[in-house]
Amino acid sequence: MGIGLPRAERTQGPDRAKRHAVVIGGSLAGLLAAHVLKDHADSVTVVERDRYPDGPEHRPGVPQDRHAHLFLKGGVDALEKLLPGLSEELLQEGAPRLAMPTDILQWQGGDWYRRTAASTHVLTGSRPLPEWVVRRRVLADPRITVLEGTEVTGLVGDAARIRGVRVRARGAGQETRTLTADLVLDASGRSSRAPAWLRAIGAEPPHEETIDAGLAYATRFYRSGPGTGELPYRAVYMAIDGRQPRGGILAPVEGDDRWIVLMSGFRGNEPPTDEAGYLDFAASLPHPVIREWLEKAEPLGSIHGFRKASNVRRRYDLPGRRPAGFLATGEALCAFNPVYGQGMSVAALCAVALRDTLGDPRRTPTTRRVQRAMAAVARRAWDISTGGDRAVPGVTGNAVRPRAVDRPVAWYLDRVIRRVPGNPVVGDAFREVGSLAAPNTRLFTPKVLRAVLFSPVPAPLSAPPLLPETPDA
């Protein structure tokens, strides 16, 4: 059964019925999906619970927007495919671009990483910045409209086909009305109510997989103080894993000398949100570099905590009694432990998969085919995130139990991780995969395979590498 939206090249003619798509949620995933759908429908309506601010400002509908975010290389490449020139706009608006590993003082797995020549880059602007830049580009198209301050209360249709959504303005006593649609795409995030809505129209909700390492984090914005402005590095990353339950990030964001500091910890090591507790937590990290920076920095606002950080995957790609014309993307499809920095990049990659599948001239874009394409993109990030979290003591969830293939893969990846800090061949491949710029098979190419299996584990650095290495170092 077709998805309900014709290809762009088939949509000509005065007698053709008008096609309408609805996107639930107007954050990054929803905006990018709407940008794609406008080329396959006459009009697209984005239903957003919030009212958008005038600029790159925080809003309550994005519960993680006061915390550290990254745009990985794979996500930046996806943005450029969808909205050419967007990464340059982000840079012009002040989003810092960091070279990895050159610019970053990184401690992970018990070792400091050598600051060798860059093999990838990340953007570290605040969460509201990329959404605002994307929003002003996407909503400039007259085919896309937004219902702000409006919530979806349910789906219209049956188990065979979606016919629209029920919506109402937020606030007491507001009437519900029907918004008809040929396609409905859920981009409402990890708190999506679509499974219950599908059940209400006689359809089958997706199977839901969860892996929860109990991550919690606390974040604050700062301005650097005397002695903190001229650092020999541009960011600090002290990663947490199954052996090190506490970590921290210090990274620049857009604005006048603004920085973001994030403390993270697994279950039983949750970072406090009071002043003294926050500083004490920073002092408990494997090295005092972040704590020493905080002593001289000027706080900008309060410390914000967050604890809903489990991995959740909804298997819309699997067979089930679900209606044609309903899709899910972004965190409504697959939500990750945020410590891996994948969410925004996966949203962009899902939008590329949506574009490519709808525009494929060789195949009819059925609902399941499109959904499987987006799920395949999300799976790459899922494997990275859950692979790390399964090793965390006390991890819970219905997808924790390892598969038969996981044991040899875990053995190999352990060898990879022990060589990443000091072996550029392994490190470059690891960063390509981690930045979603290359498939996981990149770690098994002959050159990397030889380095992983036959090269010795590099000697650890005795102190943090405050200066990057020169090419002949």
Region 58-66: what's the mean pLDDT? 84
pLDDT of the residue at 67: 86
Tokens of residue 343, six digits: 């969410």
Residue 354 in tokens: 């949506």
**Of all residues in the chain, what percent are helix, strand and coil, respectively (each to 5)?**
30, 25, 45
DSSP result, 36-48:
HHTTTSSEEEEE-
CATH architecture label of 8-63+132-211+310-387: 3-Layer(bba) Sandwich (3.50)
Task: Please name which of 22, 281, 300, 359 lies closest in space to residue 157, comparing C-alpha atoms.
Answer: 22
Instruction: Tell me which of 72-76, 166-170, 225-229, 461-465 is least confident.
Output: 225-229
Q: Indicate whether 1 pLDDT > 80.
A: no
pLDDT in tens, 340-397: 899 999 999 999 999 999 999 999 899 999 999 999 999 999 999 998 898 899 999 9
Between the two ends of the chain, the Cα-to-Cα distance in Å is 60
C-beta atoms surrounding 13 within 10 Å: 6
pLDDT per residue as tens digits for the range 172-200: 778 999 999 999 999 999 999 999 999 99
Residue 171 has pLDDT above 90, yes or no: no
Mean of the per-residue pLDDT values of the chain: 92
Taking residues 20-46, what's their average pLDDT? Answer: 97
- The model carries a pTM of 0.94
pLDDT band at 229 (very low <50, low <70, confident <90, very high): low
Class of 95-125+212-306 in CATH: alpha beta
Query: Are 469 and 427 spatial neighbours (Cβ–Cβ below 8 Å)?
Result: no
Helix (H) or strand (E) holding 356: helix 343-358
Residues 317-341: tens digit of each pLDDT:
999 999 999 999 999 999 999 888 9
Number of H helices, E strands in the chain: 12, 20
Which one has a higher pLDDT value, 407 or 190?
190
- Predicted confidence at residue 10, as pLDDT, reads 43
pLDDT > 70 in the chain, percent: 95
Instruction: Give kind and range of the element (H or E) at residue 301.
Output: strand 298-306
Structural element, H or E, at residue 197: helix 194-200
So what's the pLDDT on residue 473?
A: 43
Residue 93 binned pLDDT confidence (cut-offs 50, 70, 90): very high
pLDDT score recorded for residue 16 = 56
Q: Tokens standing for 345? A: 């990049």
Tell me what pLDDT residue 9 has.
Answer: 42
Cis status of the peptide bond prior to 101, with omega within 30 of 0: yes
- The bridge status of strand 120-123 relative to strand 111-112 is unpaired
How far apart are the C-alpha atoms of 301 and 204, rounded to whole Å? 45
CA distance 90 to 75: 13
pLDDT of residue 17 exceeding 90: no
Residues carrying CATH 3.50.50.60, the chain: 8-63+132-211+310-387
Largest Cα span, the chain: 74
* CATH 3.30.9.40 domain span(s) along the chain: 95-125+212-306
Residue 286's alpha-carbon distances to 37, 283, 435, 451, in angstroms, are: 47, 8, 25, 28
CA 183 to chain centre: 24
